[in-house]
Amino acid sequence: MKKLMFFAVAFALLISCGQQEQKSEMDTFISDLMSQMTVQEKIGQLNLVTPGGGILTGSVVSTDVENKIKTGRVGGIFGIYGPENLRQAQQMAVEESRLGIPMIFGADVIHGYKTTFPIPLGISASWDMELIEKTARIAAQEATADGIFWNFSPMVDIARDPRWGRVAEGAGEDPFLGSRVSEAMVRGYQQDDLTRENTMMSTVKHMALYGASEAGRDYNTVDMSRNRMFNDYMPPYKAAVDAGVGCVMTSFNDVDGIPASGNRWLLTELLRDDWGFEGFVVSDYTSINEMIAHGMGDLQTVSALALKAGLDMDMVGEGFLTTLEKSLEEGKVTEAEIDLACRRVLEAKYKLGLFEDPYRYFDALRPEKKILTAENRQAAREVAARSFVLLKNDNKFLPLKKSGTVALIGPLADNKNNMLGTWAPTGDPQLSVPVLDGIKNVAGDAVSVLYAKGANISDDPVFAAKVNVFGTRIDIDERSPEVMLREAVNTARRADVVVAVVGEATEMSGESGNRTNLDVPESQKKLIRALAETGKPLVLVLMAGRPLTIEEEVELADAILLTWHPGVEAGNAIADVLFGNYNPSGKLTMTFPRNVGQIPIYYAHRNTGRPQAGDEFEKFKTNYLDSPNSPLFSFGYGLSYTTFEYSDVSLSKTTISANETLEAKVTVTNTGEYDGEEVVQLYIRDVVTSITRPVKELKGFQKISLKAGESKEVSFTLSEEDLKFYNYDLDFVAEPGEFVVFIGTSSDEVKEARFVLE
């Protein structure tokens, strides 16, 4: 044993010596290179441009790019694709600039590259970390095949306000789940080896607190206590750093009164000094310049502020490029500060192997072999099916039988333009499978399918114009709403069952896709009401980029399958689930409110001094006169075609000391008729604490698969580490005392037991 230990230690030392050697080789190389660089060239490395031409991801584009590259004034480019284009651009830098420093090429590969997976909020609802990692791995394989090796993903902003359109891009409301997703994505993209041809450098974003923009309005101000920041909002960024993420992107909002892009406490003290981040920090799109509007000074001042704060690369705004030299001359920044930022950017290029071979990612033969392969599309189909959440299934109405007549109705039923979801700039909507095709593929000739559009996504042309910025998402039919509705009702009457595919167009969520009204648009509400009135069994397939307020629809429909925006294999995956080829297993990662007035609403809230036990109104308790407190669907909720029963929670000990662990166990039984998967969730509550703490916090989950009739024991190990939180002094501690452990099928359906930490 001792011998084994010796070898293990020796091996670890060897590895760390190896790493140190590599690091010192890198340091020497970069020092040598930097000694040949002029100040202008160093500043050039800090400049990230986008020449436009693809889908715009911000409101301005860079100009005069070619000339800037050749004169050493560009460190990286994003938003151009394909080995040939990128090779040409790289040649300009390598062959025509004075020092030939290669550029770094980035892109927003948010939920798949060309093989588009469901929106990230949907992917998170799978609660399947291996699967999530696989989506990132496939995205990296495809993106690198197309020449992109730096990704602006994952977006890990905790989001508790569904009015904010960008909730679609993250993993929802919970810091524990969000952290697991964050690590899985970074692992998937980077695979612990950035020099491989099929891995890409990942960027965690947006540091920090972007999801807490006031009133759910994008880019809005954020004001938050350090207690909430550290306990609820920071963990997923930190998880990415711990997983070795190469880059961090700043956010547009202010953090404690200072915009993130100029916040030294955030970007240096916390990120680097406390968390040990060693990569480089990139701004968001013109976020340095936007500090002018925040009231932080003119372009020169805010650019100096950003550099001094620890921001290394300026996305599009060119504040660094145009003002840093002047600031240096005037003593407002130091050359050491410019050097530090430049070194960090060069280090990233070194780690990516660009100095060995600047063209390593530009193999013209790879795209065809690696992109949108049958295997990748199959993965997209599987991921999509696993992201769906069955919200309602009265009388076990679903799965549908593969016989009879189905009326497939709704503006999203035979639609390619809205399947990919928001923020899929590299995907091609025309390659996606509409639901109508998917149903025909899966159900075959045994089912006769009737189709009617029934309604526009929205009848409002002004609203449609705002949503249609990246192409037609809402197409307003030439026929009148009344004519379409009549056709739909007649179609429904001729069928055994009605499947209505309704919800949001993709760009009704995403960046700058905020809403104050989270209802299904009125045109579709009318359709749903009319379909319900036919008396035919009604299944809603609900597409959305966020939680919607669907109380009325829950009343009217027999079954509701929430499919988010499912990606390129949308129709096939939806049909797989509707017809029972896959039994749905997704669980919500964001609470569904009953109405907008309840927002923000999330399960891990703290108690008030006047809690109200149920939904029954009590005077002088915390509540509303016109709405219950409870959400429509809580975090962790999601049905299956089968049913699961939970035993009581058993604990291996009722008291643990600081260095002990305890096992919390339940037996879960599949009591229904279908094989199925269940996400078993463990929450804790710290009963007495020095600062107010949530009534329940997720601390573990396991996705298990059970055959019909089968039982499994599920065991979680808890240690002091799981009980820690940031206290008033922001020390990460566990406080002795009583804890409740809850295990169950969702955050509001659990069984509990208690133990004491000594």
Site residues for ligand NOJ per CB under 6 A: 57-58, 108, 152, 205, 284-285, 511
CA distances from 373 to 141, 189, 279, 437, 489 (A): 11, 18, 33, 20, 40
> 317 vs 353, which CB is nearer to ligand NOJ?
317
Q: Minimum Å distance from CB 76 to ligand NOJ?
A: 12
Tell me the C-alpha distance between 409 and 60, whole Å.
Answer: 40
Helix or strand (DSSP H, E) at 522: helix 522-533
Classify residue 643 by its DSSP letter: -
Q: Minimum Å distance from CB 58 to ligand NOJ?
A: 5
Describe the strand order of the beta sheet including 559-562 as a list of residue ranges. 389-393, 559-562, 538-543, 497-503, 404-409, 447-452
Q: Minimum Å distance from CB 667 to ligand NOJ?
A: 44
Q: Minimum Å distance from CB 561 to ligand NOJ?
A: 29
Q: Cis omega (within 30 of 0) on the bond before 206?
A: yes
Q: Minimum Å distance from CB 304 to ligand NOJ?
A: 23
Chain centroid to CA 416? 22
CA angle, residues 688, 694, 698, in degrees to nearest 5: 115
> 423 vs 582, which CB is nearer to ligand NOJ?
423
**Residue carrying the six token digits 């005392």:** 737
Q: Minimum Å distance from CB 545 to ligand NOJ?
A: 15
- The DSSP bridge pattern shows strands 404-409 and 447-452 to be parallel
| Cβ atoms 673, 583 nearer than 8 A | no
Q: Cis omega (within 30 of 0) on the bond before 446?
A: no
> 251 vs 747, which CB is nearer to ligand NOJ?
251
DSSP SS3 for 348: helix
> 315 vs 338, which CB is nearer to ligand NOJ?
315
> 48 vs 682, which CB is nearer to ligand NOJ?
48
Is residue 731 among the annotated active site residues?
no
Q: Which amino acid is at 240?
A: A
The CB density around residue 694, as the number of other CB atoms within 10 Å, is: 19
Q: Which amino acid is at 399?
A: P
> 509 vs 747, which CB is nearer to ligand NOJ?
509
Helix or strand (DSSP H, E) at 669: strand 661-670
Residue nearest to ligand NOJ (CB): 57
Tell me the C-alpha distance between 267 and 249, whole Å.
Answer: 10
Q: Minimum Å distance from CB 511 to ligand NOJ?
A: 6
> 57 vs 591, which CB is nearer to ligand NOJ?
57
> 247 vs 488, which CB is nearer to ligand NOJ?
247
Tell me the C-alpha distance between 466 and 754, whole Å.
Answer: 52
Tell me the C-alpha distance between 616 and 447, whole Å.
Answer: 46
Q: Minimum Å distance from CB 210 to ligand NOJ?
A: 8
Radius of gyration of the chain (CA): 27
Catalytic residue among 254, 284, 312, 314: 284
CA angle, residues 592, 577, 187, in degrees to nearest 5: 70
- The residues annotated with a catalytic role in the active site are 284
